[in-house]
Amino acid sequence: MKQTGVCGNEAARKASSTRRIGAGVGAALALCALGSVAAAASTAASSTPAGTVIQASAEVTYVIGTQTVSVLSNAPSLTVNQLIDVAVGALMASVPVQPAESSRSVAFRVVNTGNAAETLHLQLATAVAGNVFDALPHPPALYLDADASGTLSGADQAYAPGGNDPVLAPGASVVVLALVDVPAGLADGARGRLELSARVGQASGAPGTVFPGAGSGGVDAIAGLSGGSALAGADLLISGVDVALLKSATVVNLAGGSVPQSGSRIDYDIAVQVRGRAGVHSLVVVDPIPASTHYLPASLQLDGIVLSDAADGDAGAFLSASTQIQVSLGEQPAGATHHVRFSVLIN
């Protein structure tokens, strides 16, 4: 019981580790209070840990006659109760997937929003009301994302309920990966929802429920707004890749009319449409020059803009060796439409 001689943070630490302070020690600690507050002002703005003892005191100085007197008040102690709270969120609310895709990982973040370390129980549900399809958990279905990369990698730990339940410090979070298989034969746009739930192992109940003495170090534990359990969903969205090329031709007889004959020009228009729900990348349109025709130099256009025939900085080229035109469209979002135009002359 040598706290009487200890001041500042050391006193606060000891006070909170004993958690219960008699009136005598409280009064003695009050003598230190003035010195310890400067440190208090610089502490981080996170939730005060459960079991912390908060003390306040006042110092009064006054003058009687010519003498200045200083007295300290008592220092009432408040113990910080344990707040049981957890939050879950999906890293991506909508995850594009392909039919029959195997071992697809979907990432969630679980956060201990309470003020004491908590053990969390995790559960994945794939059969969710309103689903067009239910994904199939790919055993062991849940992984703890050790490197918080959001994707499955070598160091990630398979989650075994009751075996390696994550223990999170106040404010700490863990990324949880759900691994699922997508059924085959699903139409573009079909949705299947996954839900990850996290429940505080110690206790959960309606918000405000008090668990007397159940908190860290014997303080009361109180269910926060989450009630100690939370869930979040992520939608798997079947996103087929579908690029349509619609080619049309117009014959221009240079002598007049539209009857094709030697020397007539044929204007081609290729409409490129990205129809699937998923965008595409590295999209390249290639079209061989038809037999018995030859490419009309400087006729290649993309969306009305003339492209040079050389394979250079712009998107298009006429490749004389393989006698084909080539236009690189690169990354294209779902719904994009472009027009590639070029002309040939009939031999």
Partner 1 sequence: MKKLIAIISLLFASFAANAASQGSILVKTVAEQEQIVTAANGSKSTVLAPAKSVLPGREVIYTVTFENIGHEAASDVVVTNPVPEHTTYQPGSAFGPGTELLFSIDGGRSFAPAAGLEVHEHDGSVRAAGAEDYTHIRFVLKNSLTPGAVAFARYRTLVK
Residues binding partner 1 (CB under 8 A): 1, 4, 12, 24-25, 27-28, 33-34, 36-41, 43, 45-48, 52, 54-65, 67-69, 71-76, 78-81, 83, 115, 219-220, 222
Residue 9 DSSP code: H
Least distance in Å: CB of 318 to partner 1?
59
Q: How far apart are CA 279 and CA 129, in angstroms?
A: 29
Q: Enumerate the β-bridge partners of residue 344.
A: 266, 295
Cβ proximity of 14 and 3 under 8 Å? yes
Q: How many CA atoms lie within 13 A of 299 on its CB side?
A: 17
Say if residue 140 is preceded by a cis peptide, omega within 30 of 0. yes
Least distance in Å: CB of 222 to partner 1?
6
CA distances from 187 to 60, 97, 183, 198, 258 (A): 77, 11, 11, 32, 43
Nearer to partner 1 among residue 66 and residue 262 (C-beta): 66
Least distance in Å: CB of 118 to partner 1?
14
Nearer to partner 1 among residue 115 and residue 197 (C-beta): 115
Least distance in Å: CB of 44 to partner 1?
9
Least distance in Å: CB of 167 to partner 1?
20
Instruction: Report phi then psi at 273, rounded to 5.
Output: -125, 125
Nearer to partner 1 among residue 204 and residue 343 (C-beta): 204
CB atoms within 10 A of CB 193: 20
Burial (Cβ within 10 Å: 0-12, 13-18, ≥19) of residue 114: buried
Cβ proximity of 266 and 346 under 8 Å? yes
- DSSP letters spanning 170-216: TT-EEEEEEEEEPPSSPPTT-EEEEEEEEEESS---STT-EETT-SG
Nearer to partner 1 among residue 72 and residue 252 (C-beta): 72
Least distance in Å: CB of 67 to partner 1?
6
Tokens linked to 111: 């956060």
Tokens linked to 85: 């709270």
Nearer to partner 1 among residue 114 and residue 192 (C-beta): 114
Nearer to partner 1 among residue 42 and residue 282 (C-beta): 42
Least distance in Å: CB of 333 to partner 1?
42
Least distance in Å: CB of 169 to partner 1?
15
Nearer to partner 1 among residue 38 and residue 321 (C-beta): 38
**Element (H or E) spanning 105, and its range?**
strand 104-112
Tokens linked to 340: 């590639």
Nearer to partner 1 among residue 65 and residue 163 (C-beta): 65
Nearer to partner 1 among residue 1 and residue 291 (C-beta): 1
Least distance in Å: CB of 225 to partner 1?
10
- DSSP letters spanning 261-323: -TT-EEEEEEEEEE-SSS-EEEEEEEEEPPTTEEE-TT--EETTEE--SSSSSSSEEEETTTT
Q: What's the chain's Rg over C-alpha atoms?
A: 35
Least distance in Å: CB of 76 to partner 1?
4
Nearer to partner 1 among residue 126 and residue 216 (C-beta): 216
